[in-house]
Structure 1
């Protein structure tokens, strides 16, 4: 068992006490860093500190974050020296308020400073196909490409845009509006997106020969974002076959693997439920096949999942209402006998422990204001625990 203990969560503190993590990470090409709740200040600082360590000591060159792929491009441009102030850019490039916190602003500001002197810039990439439930931002990027490179395909895109515009609201109410559409309209949008995706993929070689290979690949990734989102909307409306966030998780895994084709090593930041290496085997969970499951299947030991949790504190829970997503702050419940948090004691500001057979009895980990059931020793490679979370 490898254990790293730190007296500080300060992202600017010395990284020397994190050196034991080198044994945890090894030669892994993708390291996932999770969180048991969104909007916790301590998890932002934890990820910031570990991103510094992995970048400065291990040569990681990309940060794939739980943000919408299309919108996150403005953050990638900013951390490479683009214009704008960090608060505005962070809010525009994320979703559900995840970019609204000063801890996230400090995170991105460090990336920008690092890139000013780095031989190889640290990229910021959004992992998800969705921001507020609308595919329009992604379809707008596809339209720009098609107008230049394949105008004959524009009628297919127009069909999809006409349906998307009817669900384009700035909240998760977009999913409810989609569910209220006529079945024929939903089917028309799905067919148009699928046919357009088939055309884009079969013409890849042509666009490469015409010198548009990079632009085509980027437009195809935007289109796949809209395609996955369309199926996710079907799932939520009860018209699909998958369960939970299966489509979002698959897209996130695809994004990581796409980035991995160009970058040597990646830090992958998402909620613990998405990072886990094992499938979900009970009802009422976030999805049957998390992104980490796909990555573990594709990469084996080259994927390391570090779940983050806390012994006590508070969490943020979301509730989907007719007006969108409402959030509330809740106290964390007392620890339960088989939750992994009971394995951590002491007053260290951060403890990271690798998992092995000796942790086989632990079957739960905190998730928002409750617990997520999972075979902890198989679902994650390591646990990062802080004493308290504040929202």
Structure 2
């Protein structure tokens, strides 16, 4: 068996990834089993550079706030702001403190400027996107930014009689942002404003604004840039998604958390499909947001399972979506030591390479009907591979040892 497994391993390169796939996917998803390790982000950065040079990829999208990421995209495409400002204000989840993320943004800006300083044509420029909603498992943002940005886009471009409300009406219904961002609402549904009369009116108005944006598309794309119209669509998706999320935060049924984690990934999926419209893109997020099988998580209310963004996008794009999971040997600074030899990670750890790309379907064939036991992580922040779902990924990047960032 060891020989068979060794035969499934290749160097981690864009060319090797492409050889595992039937064709170049619109969205190539690279998952990670833990967050916050620059070793994995450095690997992602190198793979992205190769995809740009060899496969014509132009966009990278990461698990970060889709609204905040507009700050990063403006910087890498147009030089708006400074690198320090972008790292502080353009990332959610604390990703802006990562040295690898900083290097990615710096390099993308330098690539777009080129050596002769006259800039690349728009069609060749690298783009950056966040595809997460403005939310986390502990909280959700106010819909103010996205909803008012959508209204601000439409109001000077369509007849006033067509607008379902004024900016003043939106402001009055939204109230103060801390009503929406109250951290107590995640644990106590009665603290949420998501089912208030004002929130109900806002959901209807947001739906009408998005419908107006759609029905005025021929006019809007001729009177504004396609880029501005795309952003308005992002505002609309985000406003509707946040209002829907807040509505279910106020729910008291046993399905509440299942609904919330599913809604978050549905927002991610909608953003990924919009990214795919631009051209081929590298996607980077936790394995659980990109895998094709159902995702599971243990929460304070018990276990939940849901369809990830990757599963939703894969169902729509077919071979236009590819998923490469990442698995790890050790993260010793987090107490994750050498994997037991009877696990998939243990078998891969015995290979001589420090990192390698595994042909997942061939690995599953080599292992046969009797799959290794699942690895059990002593640290909640690392999610091992599920041996039962090896064939649901197109490949596996295995990194033997992850040093402290």
Where does residue 357 of structure 2 map in the other structure? 352
Conserved 8 A contact 1:48-1:107: yes
Q: Find the counterpart in structure 1 of residue 50 from structure 2.
A: 53
Give the structure 1 partner of residue 391 of structure 2.
378
The structure with the greater share of residues assigned to helix is 2
- How many residue pairs match? The answer is 363
1:180 maps to what in 2? Answer: 191
**Cα distance in 2 between the residues matched to 1:282 and 1:310:** 19
Normalised TM-score (structure 1): 0.81
Residue aligning to 1:270: 285
Of 254-263 and 134-143, more deviation after overlay is shown by 134-143
Aligned alpha-carbon RMSD (Å)? 3.1
Does structure 1 residue 5 correspond to structure 2 residue 20?
no
Unaligned runs of at least 5 residues, structure 1: 7-16, 316-329
What residue number does 2:152 align with? 144
Aligned in 2, Cα 1:273/1:362: closer, same or farther, shift over 3 Å? farther
Q: Give 2:126's match in structure 1, choosing from 112, 118, 122.
A: 122
Structure 1 pair 182/23, CA: closer, same or farther in 2 (3 Å)? closer
| Cα distance between partner residues in 2 of 1:314 and 1:138 | 42
Structure 1 residue 217 displacement after superposition: 4.4
Q: Match of 1:19, SS? A: helix
Determine if the alignment matches structure 1 residue 110 to structure 2 residue 107: yes
Aligned with 2:32: secondary structure?
coil
Change in CA separation of 1:349 and 1:80 when aligned onto 2, cut-off 3 Å: farther
CA distance in 1 between partners of 2:78 and 2:260 (Å):
38
The answer on whether the counterparts of 1:204 and 1:216 sit within 8 Å (CA) in structure 2 is no
Q: What is the CA-CA distance between 1:243 and the residue it aligns to?
A: 3.4
- Mean alpha-carbon deviation: is it higher for 138-147 or for 357-366? 357-366
CA displacement, residues 106-147 of structure 1 (integer Å, 9 cap, x when unaligned): 111111122223551111011012156213332342242244
User: In the aligned structure 2, how far is the partner of 1:207 from the partner of 1:121?
Assistant: 25
Residues 179 and 193 of structure 2 are in contact (CA less than 8 Å); yes or no, is this contact kept in structure 1?
no
Distance 1:276 1:270 in 2: 10
3-state SS of 1:375 partner: helix
TM score, norm. by length of structure 2 = 0.78
Counterparts of 1:165 and 1:146, CA distance in 2: 26
Which segment is superposed worse, 296-305 or 141-150?
A: 141-150
The CA distance in 1 between the partners of 2:149 and 2:354, in whole Å, is 43
What are the ranges of 5 or more consecutive residues in structure 2 without an aligned counterpart? Answer: 1-6, 115-119
Instruction: State the distance in 1 between where 2:208 and 2:391 align.
Output: 37
